[in-house]
Amino acid sequence: MLFQKTERVKLMHKDVAVLTGEYDSRRHEFRKVNEILRPDHLPTGVLLDGPDSVNLVSLNGWFQWRAIPKYRVDLGRLKERLHISDEKELLELEYGLSVSDHYWFADIDDTKFYAELNFFNRDFDQDGFGQAMFRTSRYEPKDTALHTPNNTLCGYHRKAWMRNEHGLCLYKGSTGFHQQECINEWLASVLADRLGLYCVPYDVLRYEGQLVSVCPNFLNLDLELATASDAIAAMHEKLPDTVDSFLAAMEVHGIADARASLEEMFLLDYLMLNTDRHGQNAGILVDANTNRWISMAPIFDTGTGLGCFAKTSELETLGNQKNYRLFSQKHLSFESLLDRIQNWNRYDFSTLDDMPDLFRSVLLSYRSTTGISDERIEALCELLKSRIDRVKQYQLTKRV
């Protein structure tokens, strides 16, 4: 363990010491902030109660959100393999380093520099953790599996960072029928590409006998991600976690095209029947050297859609259900998304005409791994076609 019980620590942002405080490694949280050294480098959404006082609840909320959550698929198996009793222990093993932001923490006297520590450049035991996360047969990883950027990788699905010839990429597994979420991620990113939407590209691979979606890390040493919920929290007013609050926050930070970016997300969510656009499944890009907000982040995590948890017989009527989630708002209709889109002139939906056929060929190509039936493949392609037809139809009523 890096820390023993309560330790005096410093929270760092790259090589900027942001604050000093006391950290409790039994509860995996900050007990006290002693000194705020650089309030301008506090994580987005971590609030000040006064000029010399950080709101501890928001600091710990942000800090622990970066951990693997209790609801991670197959967490029990992972903990057994890594010989840990609480997933938050991992936060302390590698300085709390992430590859989605540039925060880390260390003993107050630690003299390390970010250049030697960060996982954007430093190698790690990627297969050790990857196999501990994904392998279904017996597996005993080496201790090195405990020291990876996966220690601060949140979210429900099994996932692991891997480095290949293109750089860091995220492998993410499925839970729905026939591992559909992975193929959905790919599909969403191709739809987005055809329509010119700003979206992370996803591919599909087999890893440990299962499908995983694979996407490049869209951040780098100068760029980090903050969630839409944290962007709203940063307003210092108790605003609800809604799109209007998010737009208000973006306006304060001078990001003029936020509405257009959100519209792109709504369109993709409509086409994909995505049910899971909570406030951490959208975000902003932040300049890691200045904490300046740059733009909305590219669309990511669009896999929970196209009825991946629905029976084949339910697919046809899925679009009528009210189960779109938009930040904290639940049970919205998918049709209401279309009304939120103002600029319909920019989209050429004829670029999607071959997508149902392409979707079919990809579903077929992974059939030996997913066991999906012909009937379900046809129902899914039909569902996709009906989504595309519907946006074409809607566009005709709106185009000027």
Ligand X SMILES: Nc1ncnc2c1ncn2[C@@H]1O[C@H](COP(=O)(O)OP(=O)(O)OP(=O)(O)O)[C@@H](O)[C@H]1O
Q: Give contact residues for ligand X (rule: CB under 6 A).
A: 100, 153-157, 170, 172, 200, 215, 217-219, 225, 276, 280-281, 300-301
Q: How far is the CB of 204 from ligand X (least distance, A)?
A: 14
Give yes or no for a contact between 170 and 107, defined as CB atoms under 8 angstroms apart: no
171: number of Cβ within 10 Å: 24
Residue among 281 and 370 whose Cβ is closer to Mg ion = 281
Using CB under 5 A, count the residues that bind Mg ion: 3
Residue among 270 and 300 whose Cβ is closer to ligand X = 300
What's the CA gap between 217 and 211, in Å, rounded?
19
Give yes or no for a contact between 232 and 241, defined as CB atoms under 8 angstroms apart: yes
Q: How far is the CB of 160 from ligand X (least distance, A)?
A: 11
Q: Which does 39 bind (CB under 5 to 8 A by kind): ligand X, Mg ion, none?
A: none
Tell me the CB-side half-sphere exposure of residue 301, using CA atoms within 13 A: 16
Q: How far is the CB of 72 from ligand X (least distance, A)?
A: 8
Residue among 119 and 300 whose Cβ is closer to ligand X = 300
Q: How far is the CB of 167 from ligand X (least distance, A)?
A: 10
The DSSP letter of residue 13 is E
Non-local CB neighbours of 38 within 8 Å, separated by 6+ positions: 13, 16, 17, 18, 19
What's the CA gap between 157 and 176, in Å, rounded?
10
Residue among 215 and 379 whose Cβ is closer to ligand X = 215
Q: Which does 100 bind (CB under 5 to 8 A by kind): ligand X, Mg ion, none?
A: ligand X
Q: Which does 300 bind (CB under 5 to 8 A by kind): ligand X, Mg ion, none?
A: ligand X
Residue among 208 and 276 whose Cβ is closer to ligand X = 276
What's the CA gap between 382 and 168, in Å, rounded?
35
Angstrom distances, CA of residue 213 to CA of 117, 169, 301, 303, 378: 27, 10, 10, 9, 22
Q: How far is the CB of 362 from Mg ion (least distance, A)?
A: 22
What's the CA gap between 383 and 372, in Å, rounded?
16
Residue among 90 and 377 whose Cβ is closer to ligand X = 90
Site map (CB under 5 A) of Mg ion, residues 287-316, x = contact? --------------x---------------
Q: Which does 225 bind (CB under 5 to 8 A by kind): ligand X, Mg ion, none?
A: ligand X
Element holding 286 (H helix, E strand)? strand 283-287
Q: How far is the CB of 101 from Mg ion (least distance, A)?
A: 15
Sheet holding 223-227, edge to edge: 223-227, 283-287, 293-296
48-53, long-range: CB < 8 A, 24+ apart: none
Residue among 199 and 352 whose Cβ is closer to Mg ion = 199
Non-local CB neighbours of 261 within 8 Å, separated by 6+ positions: 198, 295, 296
**Closest residue to ligand X, Cβ-based?**
155
Q: Which does 151 bind (CB under 5 to 8 A by kind): Mg ion, ligand X, none?
A: none
Q: Which does 265 bind (CB under 5 to 8 A by kind): Mg ion, ligand X, none?
A: none
Give yes or no for a contact between 239 and 231, defined as CB atoms under 8 angstroms apart: no
Q: How far is the CB of 71 from ligand X (least distance, A)?
A: 8
Q: How far is the CB of 285 from Mg ion (least distance, A)?
A: 16
Q: Which does 199 bind (CB under 5 to 8 A by kind): ligand X, Mg ion, none?
A: none
Q: According to CB under 5 A, which residues from 254 to 293 bind Mg ion?
A: 281
Give yes or no for a contact between 184 and 304, defined as CB atoms under 8 angstroms apart: yes
Among 39, 155, 201, 319, binds Mg ion (CB under 5 A): 155
Q: Which does 228 bind (CB under 5 to 8 A by kind): Mg ion, ligand X, none?
A: none
Q: Is 26 exposed, middle or buried (0-12, 13-18, 19+ CB in 10 A)?
A: exposed
Q: DSSP assignment of 352-368, as one string? A: GTTHHHHHHHHHHHTHH
Residue among 117 and 225 whose Cβ is closer to ligand X = 225
Q: How far is the CB of 305 from Mg ion (least distance, A)?
A: 13
Residues near Mg ion (CB under 5 A): 155, 281, 301
